[in-house]
């Protein structure tokens, strides 16, 4: 369960970007996060990823009040959350294979145990032929697919994605959404921020509408 109780967020002394957010996300659900440009979708995802603390209110995740946890405790919980940022955040000194496998290495797994799974996922997202390439040699769409593969490889409890299909063609966009849907069927809670109306119409999941700093959920 993800639960926001009267959560607000402001940067410095500026006005509140998010205000009085009250909503619940059930485990294993799938939601699209929509709203006008600049409405705070990325800020909300950062709160969900536990990389920002709210200015006011309380957030409960994994049966804990995460607003009260220290840095080490938050880091431990963040390992249960996968995220795809708009800016990819691939490590330049690692190959595509190494970037995708990084969450598994952090968990202490050995390459012999995960190599086949990583190669299978890279093949599925169309990057098997680019597995030895470094990020500087990848196109924007290839970087996006690598970032998505890295986010899902460890089958996180929660997956957050910020415009994950913004740099790929419509066919691959739909294929990636089916990947997210399959992960959801295995129990992962999915929240995808998007402005693509075709995607919203094609996949009939509930929508979280963020507008004027507040969230409403529509089935």
In contact, 61 and 43? CB cutoff 8 Å: no
Copy the structure tokens of residue 200.
């919203």
Q: How many residues does the chain have?
A: 219
pLDDT at position 204: 82
User: The tokens 């929240």 sit on which residue?
Assistant: 191
- Looking at residue 201, its pLDDT comes to 79
Mean pLDDT calculated for residue range 11-35: 92
**pLDDT given at position 120:** 93
Sorting pLDDT into bands at 50, 70 and 90, what band is 149? Answer: very high
Strands (E), the chain: 2-10, 16-25, 30-34, 56-61, 64-65, 81-84, 158-162, 189-193, 207-211, 214-218
Give Cβ neighbours of residue 160 (< 8 Å, ≥ 6 apart): 45, 48, 49, 81, 82, 83, 84, 191, 192, 193
pLDDT of 140 higher than 80: yes
Give the pLDDT score at 209: 93
Q: How far apart are CA 131 and CA 40, in angstroms?
A: 34
- Choices 3.40.50.2020, 3.40.109.10, 3.40.50.300, 2.60.40.790: CATH for 2-218: 3.40.50.300
């Amino acid at each position: 369960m993800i639960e926001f109780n009267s959560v607000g967020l402001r940067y410095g002394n500026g006005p509140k970007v998010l205000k009085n957010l009250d909503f619940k996300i059930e485990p294993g659900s799938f939601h699209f996060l929509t709203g006008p440009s600049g409405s705070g979708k990325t800020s909300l995802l950062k709160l969900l990823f536990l990389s920002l603390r709210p200015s006011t209110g309380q957030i409960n995740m994994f049966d804990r009040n995460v607003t009260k946890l220290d840095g080490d405790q938050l880091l431990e919980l963040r390992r249960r959350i996968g995220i795809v940022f708009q800016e990819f955040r691939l490590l330049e000194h690692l190959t595509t294979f190494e970037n995708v496998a990084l969450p598994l290495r952090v968990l202490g797994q050995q390459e012999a145990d995960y190599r086949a799974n990583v190669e299978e996922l890279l093949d599925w997202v169309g990057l098997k032929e680019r597995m030895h390439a470094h990020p500087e040699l990848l196109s924007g769409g290839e970087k996006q697919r690598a970032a998505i593969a890295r986010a899902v490889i460890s089958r996180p409890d929660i997956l957050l994605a910020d415009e994950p299909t913004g740099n790929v063609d419509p066919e691959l966009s739909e294929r990636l959404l089916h990947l997210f849907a399959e992960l959801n069927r295995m129990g992962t809670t999915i929240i995808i921020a998007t402005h693509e109306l075709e995607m919203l119409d094609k996949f009939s999941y509930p929508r979280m509408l963020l507008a004027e700093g507040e969230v409403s959920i529509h089935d």
